[in-house]
Chain A
């Protein structure tokens, strides 16, 4: 009988998610191993070297893997939040640049007396700039009905060129040699999180934001609305009796703000100056980070570390196993495709059960 069947066929979504992710990761490893073998490399050596590079020593893990995970963690959270509300924010890259620029500009222009407040003020400025950058596509979506996929993508380019313009012109270093800004004052540096490592407070910020987002999404009325609007606009409006427009604004702006923080935190914690090409595309990789975490903020911490490890281990893979570092990006893509496929298969099974 159908009723009995639907009960026995019911699985907890978390369980389904875990199974899908596991299957996807295994599939990825299998495909990657095959490709590596085809490319004349030893998959075992490659994976081992990658693992050593990422996790081999405490310092490798903390100073490389976790440091590289930090911008991915923040942008991943930004994307996850937006996607939860079904806001397809492809613009984390641009929002990251907006935040980086605002943070640097404020840090450089702040009078010396403001040193104590340098960090809070610059963090605020970065978040505000990221949100501002997101507000353009948000307004176009809610006021004009223009889809955010294309607009956020376009805004990325505008941000990139704006950054180029600023580091070549108004914010260019006083020496005038390279296209980069002056070093930010020490007061605006993010302190180290662990002594004698390169890991800075930014990682902790990321974790705190992840926990906050998780609590917000699961425990508060506002977060509940984001989840409801993301799951079904019509059900949210008819059964939840709320308008989704403010929900879209909230998630768009918050997403932009977090992505903005990512940019500035990278500068305040690692580079201490802004230059062209600050981001190797974190805002795009973030989509994979968020997706692999199935948009769950706490899981984003894990997946960001996984991607951070891929990035940190890539160098070792090249040195020790002779596998070019670029393979790492290929593996990232395989992860995304595997998760998408596993998702579709699970959906297909669910649909055929209904």
Chain B
């Protein structure tokens, strides 16, 4: 019975940790499909967390989610303004946006709440229990007793799958990522497409950040994004740039992280950092083609126009 309880709490934790990763990674999938790798995603996550917190304080937790989305999108807009519109190097620009976001969110937070680090208490977004589905043994409570952010993440998976692979806009977006020259020749506005995709990715990362502050913890702390934006990039790789794959990869990464807490709770003497490293090793293996070829869009990180 305790085993089952432990398993159950593990699954709950795994899904809980997977939600912000999934949100950010689904956004980054769209961004990368358009040819933009946004290393500044971490910046969008932390801005989302802070924006969410401020919005929640000012109006309420649901508005906080919206301001989080806005804040994350704006951070990505800054990134895209430089890296897409101006054509600066995507990697270096993204690094700058991440560093600067971690700094400026800290500055804003401290000027608002003081440097003492008084724990901020936020009203959280409540969980919605989905009738029936939440009663599915084991999986029900994990997947269907979650805040709205989780359901948004679930909804995004088929939605983005449809968008990317079934619509003309998705086709144009992927063309911009595969071969900006060909996309341009076919009349796709490559720069605009990439800007929009990057901002969408940032908005999703902002939602992920708002989830951290308004669902996961109910507080804001400096650096609370804790590398989630970077991890999301690895999730995209392991998920092979496909929404369903990315969703599964997010669960996998979430599971690896949850295992840490479960093992601690069980007092099991297992080297959990190695479990945490596992998804990254698998991502590398996927890139190396050890289980089917996983290939990045061919125009990824290439500036346009050249």
Inter-chain CA distance A329–B108, complex, in Å, is 13
What sequence of 0s and 1s flags, for each residue 78-113 of chain B, a beta carbon within 8 Å of any chain A beta carbon?
000010001111011101111111111011101100
Cβ of B283 within 8 Å of any chain A Cβ, yes or no, is: yes
Flag if A326 contacts B88 (CB, 8 Å): no
* A35 surroundings in chain B (CB, below 8 A): 104
* B87 surroundings in chain A (CB, below 8 A): 344
Chain A residue, CB-CB nearest to B238: A154
Give the residue of A154, A165, A168, A336 whose beta carbon is less than 8 angstroms from that of B96.
A336
Give the residue of A90, A149, A164, A336 whose beta carbon is less than 8 angstroms from that of B273.
A164
Known: A157-B234, A162-B273, A165-B271. A337 touches B93 (CB 8 A): yes
Inter-chain CA distance A88–B100, complex, in Å, is 21
Interface centre among A35, A144, A340 (most CB of B within 10 A): A340
How many residues on the B side are at the interface (Cβ–Cβ under 8 A)? 48
Interface centre among B101, B102, B103, B271 (most CB of A within 10 A): B103
Inter-chain CA distance A144–B222, complex, in Å, is 39
What sequence of 0s and 1s flags, for each residue 268-302 of chain B, a beta carbon within 8 Å of any chain A beta carbon?
00010110110011011001110000001000110
* B110 surroundings in chain A (CB, below 8 A): 324, 326
Give the residue of A40, A169, A326, A337 whose beta carbon is less than 8 angstroms from that of B106.
A326
Flag if A344 contacts B273 (CB, 8 Å): no
Give the A-B pair count, Cβ closer than 8 A: 149
Inter-chain CA distance A39–B106, complex, in Å, is 12
Cβ of B237 within 8 Å of any chain A Cβ, yes or no, is: yes
Cβ of A155 within 8 Å of any chain B Cβ, yes or no, is: yes
| Residues of A contacting B: mostly | helix
Flag if B284 contacts A151 (CB, 8 Å): yes
Flag if B92 contacts A150 (CB, 8 Å): no
A112 to chain B, nearest CB (A): 29
What sequence of 0s and 1s flags, for each residue 27-57 of chain B, a beta carbon within 8 Å of any chain A beta carbon?
0000000000101000000000000000000
Cβ of B259 within 8 Å of any chain A Cβ, yes or no, is: no
Flag if B233 contacts A150 (CB, 8 Å): yes
* B10 surroundings in chain A (CB, below 8 A): none
Chain A residue, CB-CB nearest to B103: A329
Inter-chain CA distance A288–B237, complex, in Å, is 25
Flag if A88 contacts B99 (CB, 8 Å): no
In A263-294, the 8 Å CB interface with B consists of 281, 284-285, 287-288, 291
Chain A residue, CB-CB nearest to B282: A154
Give the residue of A156, A158, A288, A324 whose beta carbon is less than 8 angstroms from that of B115.
A324
Give the residue of A153, A329, A340 whose beta carbon is less than 8 angstroms from that of B92.
A340
Known: A287-B95, A288-B95, A324-B110. A341 touches B88 (CB 8 A): yes
* A285 surroundings in chain B (CB, below 8 A): 99
What sequence of 0s and 1s flags, for each residue 127-158 of chain B, a beta carbon within 8 Å of any chain A beta carbon?
00000000000000000000000000000000
Closest 7 CB pairs of A and B: A333-B100, A329-B103, A326-B106, A330-B103, A161-B277, A336-B96, A165-B273
Q: A140-B284, A151-B287, A288-B95 are in contact. List 20 more A-B contacts (CB 8 A).
A: A35-B104, A151-B284, A154-B280, A154-B284, A157-B231, A158-B277, A161-B274, A161-B276, A165-B277, A168-B273, A287-B91, A288-B92, A326-B107, A329-B100, A330-B103, A333-B101, A336-B99, A337-B100, A340-B88, A344-B88
